[in-house]
Structure 1
Amino acid sequence: MKTDDYSALAPAKVNLFLHVGPVQPNGRHPLDSLVMFAGEAAADRLSVMISDDLSMTLTGPGMTNPDHIGPVDDNLVLRAARALQAETGSTQGAAFTLEKHLPIAAGIGGGSADAAAALRLLTDLWGTDTAAAHKIAPALGGDVPVALQGHTALMQGEGERIRRAPDLPRVPALLVNPGLACPTGPVFRAYDAAGGGAGFREFGAVPPFERVWDLVHWLGNQRNDLQAPAIAAVPEIAGVLDTLQALPDVLLARMSGSGATCFALFDTEDAARRAEAQLSADRPDWWIRATSLGDAA
């Protein structure tokens, strides 16, 4: 049994495009999405040590609205730990400290990233088989399998099928959230009510691109199917997108996931940092992070 203190980043997941099929009898939707992960500037931090039972302490600037995160005992980190115990028969415990930096209910998979980080840390701390973590990941949430793998990938099926997309450049980006939660359930229900999903099909693979500009040009022909219903639920998202599109040197602005976080893509990291400085001065009430997107660290 290991007794060291372990820690890991839990980076934001960004859906560069998100195509959504019609609702299935089980209430879920087939998805096709190109996913990349942010760097350290846009990530939660999770640490853990061996304990007699399972517990978690929440800290960090993302806890300014603690009511949004729900009961600690129902947090995905502890749910992941309990599921891994059940799958492996482990009787070991763990004491987590989650330093929350990512906004909640924001379309960037913060809770899923935290759960994936917990599974990686516990696999090491408890000495369990990595296959156990991958087996239980889909039941924890659609974004958990791709977050657990941590690679740029197509996320398909209900999130359980991951197809790596290795031949893509890292993409300089600006992530922005207006400080408003956009819960996933109502957005999907509005999408279903509008008859969403007709003509859905999956990509076989993402073409290889060496240059950011070429990748972004290809992405411009894709879409986020949940963007319209999310804007209907949280109209401020449209203003965020307009603001991002007006920034200097922006190549593409789009919403991630079910919102309300939006992203702007740039050709260089310097351009993304300049945009961060400008927008942070104009909108100090928004969550704004310049980063680069690609494989998780």
Structure 2
Amino acid sequence: MTPTDGAVTEPAFAKINLTLHVTGQRADGYHLLDSMVMFTSIGDEITVRPADTLRLTIDGPFAAGLSADDDNLVLRAARSFGLNHGADITLTKRLPVASGIGGGSADAAATLRALSRLWGAPLPDLAAQVALGADVPVCMSAEVTRMAGIGDDLTHLGPAPMLDMLLVNPGVGVSTRVVFEALARKTNPPMGDAMPDPFDIDDWVVWLADQRNDLEAPARAAAPEIDQVLSRLSAQQGCQLARMSGSGATCFAIFEDADSRDNAAAALRVGHPSWWIAPTDEAPT
């Protein structure tokens, strides 16, 4: 979207790791993954406007959890172009911080897309994107994507299927570094190559249930609140699958239909008013 004042706005959709298999670790410490990723219709938002220098303002319900200093990933993304250009950047933070749904990486990717349009400049290459964060390349597109390697081996599978999902975060942050360090086994089997069509939703959900998030066990040890979230989600009528996303603490549940999802959201809000609870569906592509 480009308003009349020259601003450019890009969505930073929430990234959901439907699966996350940790298959190895390189000598430089990077972990090797095999993950099925989709994006939902909720997320943060980046708006950029012409300016003489780079400036960052953060607003939104979760703005208090972030600092607009030079090390902010949004400003690092802007500097990755290697250009002496300015921009007034606003990050509207709607997703919880350190929540396992790609907020920072999605914000960086949205910044790259927005500034490329504002400045008429080509996007930084894959290596520059990976240098910002291993999840940044997958966040450059809203397609369902199989992400392998350290996040640089991407297979796009097309638009996301129409899933009625509920995201729940118990209000605790989980350190990605701590979770990876606590992972007992770093060499686990990848996903199988034979998978059903994502748009055959019933078969796909059955297939997803046979996959894993290898980070779930160490994350649950670090934040026992995740156990309660998964237990409550699994107990809701119409829940087909409940799993943690990324390194936590946000969990997702796939429901049979929107009514079941919305009823579950209402019930959980009554019992757990401090939890972040967000009904959502697939992101537009």
Range moving further from structure 2, 276-285 or 105-114: 276-285
Partner secondary structure for residue 38 of structure 2? strand
Could you tell me which of 14, 20, 23 is aligned with 1:21? 23
Q: Deviations over 1:43-67 (max 9, x none)?
A: 1111110111111011111124x2x
Q: Name the CA shift for 1:127/1:230 in 2 (closer, same or farther; >3 Å).
A: same
Q: Are 1:250 and 1:266, in contact at CA under 8 Å, matched by a contact in 2?
A: yes
Structure 1 unaligned regions, length at least 5? none
Displacement of 1:206 in angstroms is 4.0
Distance in 2 between residues matched to 1:3 and 1:93, nearest whole Å = 16
Q: Of residues 216, 235, 240 in structure 1, which corresponds to 2:229?
A: 240
Percent identity over the alignment is: 45
Could you tell me how far apart the structure 2 residues matched to 1:205 and 1:119 are? 34
Q: 1:122 deviation in Å?
A: 0.5
Match of 2:131 in 1: 139
Give the structure 2 partner of residue 252 of structure 1. 241
Match of 2:179 in 1: 187
Offset from partner CA, 1:169-217 (integer Å, 9 cap, x none)? 22110000001000100000000xx2x1334335446431433222111
Distance 1:138-1:204 versus aligned 2 partners, 3 A rule: farther
Structure 2 matches for 1:1-297, cutoff 5 A? 4-39=6-41, 42-64=42-64, 66=65, 69-70=66-67, 72-84=69-81, 86=82, 90-130=83-123, 132=124, 134-166=126-158, 169-191=161-183, 194=184, 196-201=185-190, 203-204=192-193, 206-293=195-282, 295-297=283-285
Letter in 1 for 2:69: V
Output the amino acid matched with 1:50: P
3-state SS of paired residue (1:124): helix
> Matched residue of 2:12: which SS?
strand
Matched letter for residue 184 of structure 1: T
Structure 1's consecutive aligned runs of 4 or more residues displaced over 4 angstroms after TM superposition are: none
Letter of the 1:31 partner, please give it. Answer: L
> CA offset at residue 269 of structure 1?
2.0
After superposing the two structures, state which structure 1 stretch, 211-220 or 73-82, moved more.
Answer: 211-220
Cα 1:5–1:51, aligned 2, differ >3 Å: closer, same or farther?
A: same
Aligned residues: 282
Q: Is the 8 A contact 1:9 1:44 kept in 2?
A: yes
Give the Cα–Cα distance (whole angstroms) in 1 for the partners of residues 189 and 25 of structure 2: 11
User: Aligned partners of 2:101 and 2:141: how far apart in 1?
Assistant: 16
Q: Give 5+ residue unaligned stretches, structure 2.
A: none
The structure carrying a bigger helix percent of its residues is 1
Does the Cα contact within 8 Å between 1:134 and 1:148 map onto a contact in 2? no
TM-score (norm 1): 0.90
Kindly indicate whether the alpha-carbon contact (under 8 Å) linking 1:22 and 1:197 is maintained by their aligned counterparts in 2.
Answer: yes
User: How far apart are 1:134 and its partner, in Å?
Assistant: 4.2
CA contact (8 A) 1:167 1:208 kept: no
TM-score by length of 2: 0.93
Change in Cα spacing, 1:71 to 1:189, as seen in structure 2 (3 Å) is farther
3-state secondary structure, aligned to 1:30? strand
